[in-house]
Amino acid sequence: MQDDLKKLAAQAAIPYVKNCRILGIGTGSTVNHFIDLLAPLKHQFEGAVSSSEASTERLLALGIPVLDLNAVGTLDIYVDGADEINTNLELIKGGGGALTREKIIAAASKHFICIADHSKLVSRLGKFPLPVEVIPMARSYVARTISALGGQPVWRENFITDNGNVILDIHRLDILEPMKLENTLNNITGVVTTGLFANRSADTVLLASEQGTQTLTL
Protein backbone atom coordinates (compact mmCIF):
# COMPACT_ATOMS: atom_id res chain seq x y z
CA MET A 1 0.00 0.00 0.00
CA GLN A 2 1.26 3.46 -0.94
CA ASP A 3 1.02 4.83 2.59
CA ASP A 4 3.21 2.00 3.94
CA LEU A 5 5.82 2.91 1.32
CA LYS A 6 5.67 6.58 2.35
CA LYS A 7 6.35 5.48 5.93
CA LEU A 8 9.24 3.30 4.76
CA ALA A 9 10.81 6.29 2.97
CA ALA A 10 10.34 8.43 6.09
CA GLN A 11 12.05 5.77 8.22
CA ALA A 12 15.02 5.78 5.87
CA ALA A 13 15.54 9.50 6.57
CA ILE A 14 15.80 9.04 10.35
CA PRO A 15 19.54 8.10 10.40
CA TYR A 16 20.30 11.49 8.77
CA VAL A 17 19.00 13.28 11.89
CA LYS A 18 22.04 12.14 13.89
CA ASN A 19 24.31 15.07 14.87
CA CYS A 20 21.89 17.65 13.42
CA ARG A 21 21.11 20.76 15.45
CA ILE A 22 18.18 22.16 13.52
CA LEU A 23 16.04 20.37 10.94
CA GLY A 24 14.01 21.75 8.06
CA ILE A 25 10.64 20.07 7.77
CA GLY A 26 8.51 19.89 4.63
CA THR A 27 4.81 19.31 4.19
CA GLY A 28 2.54 16.46 3.12
CA SER A 29 1.53 12.90 3.89
CA THR A 30 5.08 11.46 3.55
CA VAL A 31 6.59 14.12 5.82
CA ASN A 32 3.81 13.55 8.35
CA HIS A 33 5.24 10.05 8.86
CA PHE A 34 8.71 11.56 9.29
CA ILE A 35 7.42 14.03 11.91
CA ASP A 36 5.78 11.21 13.85
CA LEU A 37 9.00 9.16 13.75
CA LEU A 38 10.99 12.19 14.95
CA ALA A 39 9.00 12.59 18.16
CA PRO A 40 10.97 10.01 20.22
CA LEU A 41 14.24 11.66 19.08
CA LYS A 42 13.26 15.23 19.95
CA HIS A 43 15.87 15.56 22.72
CA GLN A 44 18.68 14.92 20.22
CA PHE A 45 18.20 18.21 18.32
CA GLU A 46 17.25 21.81 19.14
CA GLY A 47 14.18 22.14 16.97
CA ALA A 48 12.73 22.40 13.49
CA VAL A 49 11.93 25.07 10.93
CA SER A 50 8.57 24.28 9.39
CA SER A 51 7.33 24.84 5.83
CA SER A 52 3.61 25.11 6.60
CA GLU A 53 1.01 25.79 9.26
CA ALA A 54 -0.04 22.12 9.00
CA SER A 55 3.47 20.80 9.72
CA THR A 56 3.93 23.37 12.51
CA GLU A 57 0.76 22.14 14.19
CA ARG A 58 1.89 18.51 13.96
CA LEU A 59 5.40 19.28 15.25
CA LEU A 60 4.11 21.29 18.21
CA ALA A 61 1.53 18.64 19.10
CA LEU A 62 4.41 16.17 19.45
CA GLY A 63 6.45 18.59 21.58
CA ILE A 64 9.04 19.41 18.89
CA PRO A 65 10.06 23.11 19.13
CA VAL A 66 9.35 25.12 15.95
CA LEU A 67 11.94 27.82 15.24
CA ASP A 68 11.88 30.95 13.09
CA LEU A 69 14.18 30.63 10.06
CA ASN A 70 15.35 34.22 10.68
CA ALA A 71 16.58 33.28 14.13
CA VAL A 72 18.74 30.34 13.05
CA GLY A 73 21.59 29.91 10.60
CA THR A 74 21.94 27.38 7.84
CA LEU A 75 19.91 24.25 8.48
CA ASP A 76 21.68 20.89 8.64
CA ILE A 77 19.09 18.92 6.73
CA TYR A 78 15.76 19.54 5.03
CA VAL A 79 13.42 16.56 4.71
CA ASP A 80 10.47 16.82 2.36
CA GLY A 81 8.31 14.85 -0.07
CA ALA A 82 7.65 15.52 -3.76
CA ASP A 83 4.96 15.09 -6.38
CA GLU A 84 7.38 14.09 -9.17
CA ILE A 85 11.10 13.31 -9.21
CA ASN A 86 13.33 12.83 -12.25
CA THR A 87 16.68 11.07 -12.44
CA ASN A 88 18.53 14.41 -12.07
CA LEU A 89 16.75 14.71 -8.70
CA GLU A 90 14.80 17.70 -9.98
CA LEU A 91 11.32 17.87 -8.51
CA ILE A 92 7.78 19.08 -8.88
CA LYS A 93 6.38 20.06 -5.50
CA GLY A 94 3.43 22.03 -4.19
CA GLY A 95 0.57 19.55 -4.53
CA GLY A 96 -0.35 20.65 -1.00
CA GLY A 97 0.30 24.32 -1.77
CA ALA A 98 3.33 24.72 0.49
CA LEU A 99 5.86 25.29 -2.31
CA THR A 100 7.11 28.77 -1.40
CA ARG A 101 8.09 28.09 2.18
CA GLU A 102 9.43 24.71 1.09
CA LYS A 103 11.65 26.34 -1.49
CA ILE A 104 12.94 28.89 1.03
CA ILE A 105 13.88 26.16 3.50
CA ALA A 106 15.47 24.04 0.76
CA ALA A 107 17.60 27.06 -0.20
CA ALA A 108 18.66 27.60 3.41
CA SER A 109 19.65 23.97 4.03
CA LYS A 110 22.92 22.13 3.53
CA HIS A 111 21.39 18.78 2.63
CA PHE A 112 17.97 18.37 0.98
CA ILE A 113 16.65 14.85 1.49
CA CYS A 114 13.56 13.99 -0.52
CA ILE A 115 11.43 11.08 0.70
CA ALA A 116 8.87 9.40 -1.54
CA ASP A 117 7.33 6.18 -2.72
CA HIS A 118 8.53 4.89 -6.08
CA SER A 119 5.40 6.07 -7.96
CA LYS A 120 6.86 9.61 -7.83
CA LEU A 121 9.85 8.75 -10.05
CA VAL A 122 9.31 9.82 -13.68
CA SER A 123 11.45 9.98 -16.79
CA ARG A 124 10.21 13.49 -17.59
CA LEU A 125 8.59 16.05 -15.28
CA GLY A 126 5.22 17.56 -16.11
CA LYS A 127 2.53 14.92 -15.96
CA PHE A 128 1.71 16.22 -12.49
CA PRO A 129 0.28 19.73 -13.02
CA LEU A 130 2.95 22.25 -12.00
CA PRO A 131 1.81 24.44 -9.07
CA VAL A 132 2.67 28.14 -9.29
CA GLU A 133 1.98 30.49 -6.35
CA VAL A 134 0.69 33.85 -7.51
CA ILE A 135 -0.19 37.19 -5.88
CA PRO A 136 -4.03 37.23 -6.03
CA MET A 137 -4.40 40.42 -8.13
CA ALA A 138 -2.02 39.00 -10.76
CA ARG A 139 -3.92 35.71 -11.24
CA SER A 140 -5.47 36.44 -14.66
CA TYR A 141 -2.40 38.22 -16.00
CA VAL A 142 -0.11 35.36 -14.98
CA ALA A 143 -2.56 32.78 -16.38
CA ARG A 144 -2.64 34.56 -19.77
CA THR A 145 1.15 34.78 -19.83
CA ILE A 146 1.55 31.08 -19.03
CA SER A 147 -1.05 30.15 -21.68
CA ALA A 148 1.01 32.07 -24.24
CA LEU A 149 4.00 29.89 -23.24
CA GLY A 150 1.96 26.75 -24.06
CA GLY A 151 0.81 25.68 -20.59
CA GLN A 152 -2.79 25.28 -19.48
CA PRO A 153 -3.22 27.06 -16.12
CA VAL A 154 -6.07 25.99 -13.86
CA TRP A 155 -6.89 28.15 -10.84
CA ARG A 156 -6.98 26.05 -7.65
CA GLU A 157 -10.27 27.55 -6.50
CA ASN A 158 -11.17 27.87 -2.81
CA PHE A 159 -7.52 27.49 -1.86
CA ILE A 160 -5.36 30.17 -0.27
CA THR A 161 -1.73 29.48 0.62
CA ASP A 162 -0.25 30.06 4.07
CA ASN A 163 1.16 33.28 2.56
CA GLY A 164 -2.29 34.55 1.49
CA ASN A 165 -1.78 33.89 -2.23
CA VAL A 166 -3.46 31.71 -4.89
CA ILE A 167 -2.23 28.70 -6.86
CA LEU A 168 -2.36 28.10 -10.61
CA ASP A 169 -1.80 24.43 -11.54
CA ILE A 170 -0.22 24.27 -14.98
CA HIS A 171 -1.33 21.31 -17.09
CA ARG A 172 0.02 20.03 -20.39
CA LEU A 173 3.65 20.87 -19.72
CA ASP A 174 6.27 18.55 -21.12
CA ILE A 175 9.22 19.82 -19.12
CA LEU A 176 12.31 19.27 -21.25
CA GLU A 177 14.49 21.90 -19.55
CA PRO A 178 13.40 22.21 -15.91
CA MET A 179 15.91 24.94 -14.91
CA LYS A 180 15.05 27.08 -17.90
CA LEU A 181 11.31 26.77 -17.29
CA GLU A 182 11.77 27.54 -13.58
CA ASN A 183 13.63 30.72 -14.46
CA THR A 184 11.09 31.73 -17.12
CA LEU A 185 8.14 31.28 -14.76
CA ASN A 186 9.93 33.04 -11.90
CA ASN A 187 10.38 36.04 -14.17
CA ILE A 188 6.66 36.58 -14.72
CA THR A 189 5.54 39.55 -12.64
CA GLY A 190 3.10 38.40 -9.97
CA VAL A 191 4.58 34.91 -9.64
CA VAL A 192 5.83 34.25 -6.12
CA THR A 193 7.33 30.80 -6.72
CA THR A 194 6.97 27.80 -8.97
CA GLY A 195 6.82 24.22 -7.72
CA LEU A 196 9.76 23.31 -9.97
CA PHE A 197 12.78 22.54 -7.81
CA ALA A 198 15.50 22.44 -10.48
CA ASN A 199 17.91 25.23 -9.55
CA ARG A 200 17.85 23.82 -6.02
CA SER A 201 17.17 20.13 -6.60
CA ALA A 202 17.32 17.36 -3.99
CA ASP A 203 20.74 16.15 -2.83
CA THR A 204 19.45 12.72 -1.85
CA VAL A 205 16.23 10.93 -2.74
CA LEU A 206 15.06 8.03 -0.58
CA LEU A 207 12.66 6.08 -2.74
CA ALA A 208 10.62 3.29 -1.18
CA SER A 209 9.21 0.32 -3.05
CA GLU A 210 8.05 -3.19 -2.13
CA GLN A 211 11.70 -4.26 -2.52
CA GLY A 212 12.98 -1.75 0.07
CA THR A 213 14.38 1.78 0.00
CA GLN A 214 16.73 2.94 -2.70
CA THR A 215 19.07 5.93 -2.17
CA LEU A 216 19.49 8.17 -5.22
CA THR A 217 22.28 10.77 -5.35
CA LEU A 218 24.01 12.50 -8.22
Ligand X SMILES: O=C[C@H](O)[C@H](O)[C@H](O)COP(=O)(O)O
Hey, what amino acid is at 191? V
> Among residues 7, 93, 103, 156, which is the contact residue for ligand X, using CB under 6 A?
93
Contact range with ligand X by CB under 6 A, out of 11-19, 62-70, 76-84, 145-153:
76-84
Query: Which of residues 47 and 97 has its CB atom nearest to ligand X in the complex?
Result: 97
CB 129 within 8 A of CB 94: no
* Residue showing the smallest CB distance to ligand X in the complex: 28
From residue 33 to residue 72, the character string flagging contacts with ligand X as x (rule: CB under 6 A) and all else as - is ----------------------------------------
> Among residues 12, 82, 138, 208, which is the contact residue for ligand X, using CB under 6 A?
82
Using CB under 6 A as the binding criterion, the count of chain residues that bind ligand X stands at 17
Residue 102 falls in the annotated catalytic set: yes
Q: How many residues does the chain have?
A: 218
Hey, what amino acid is at 203? D
According to the binding rule CB under 6 A, does residue 98 interact with ligand X? yes
> Among residues 5, 48, 64, 94, which is the contact residue for ligand X, using CB under 6 A?
94
CB 177 within 8 A of CB 113: no
Which of 10, 193, 205 is closest to 103 using CA atoms? 193
Q: Give dist(CA 208, CA 119) in Å, integer.
A: 9
> Among residues 26, 126, 129, 178, which is the contact residue for ligand X, using CB under 6 A?
26
CB 123 within 8 A of CB 86: yes
According to the binding rule CB under 6 A, does residue 99 interact with ligand X? yes
> Among residues 23, 24, 83, 161, which is the contact residue for ligand X, using CB under 6 A?
83
Query: Which of residues 28 and 129 has its CB atom nearest to ligand X in the complex?
Result: 28
Which of 84, 90, 102, 182 is an active site residue? 102
Q: Return all residues near 8 (Cβ < 8 A) that are at least 6 apart.
A: 117, 208, 212, 213
Q: Give dist(CA 207, CA 216) in Å, integer.
A: 8
CA dihedral 193→112→64→39, nearest 10 degrees, is 130
According to the binding rule CB under 6 A, does residue 95 interact with ligand X? yes
| Least distance to ligand X, CB of residue 43, Å | 26
Which of 111, 118, 112, 176 is closest to 149 using CA atoms? 176
Contact residues toward ligand X (CB under 6 A) are 26-30, 80-83, 93-99, 102
> What are the residue numbers of the active site?
102
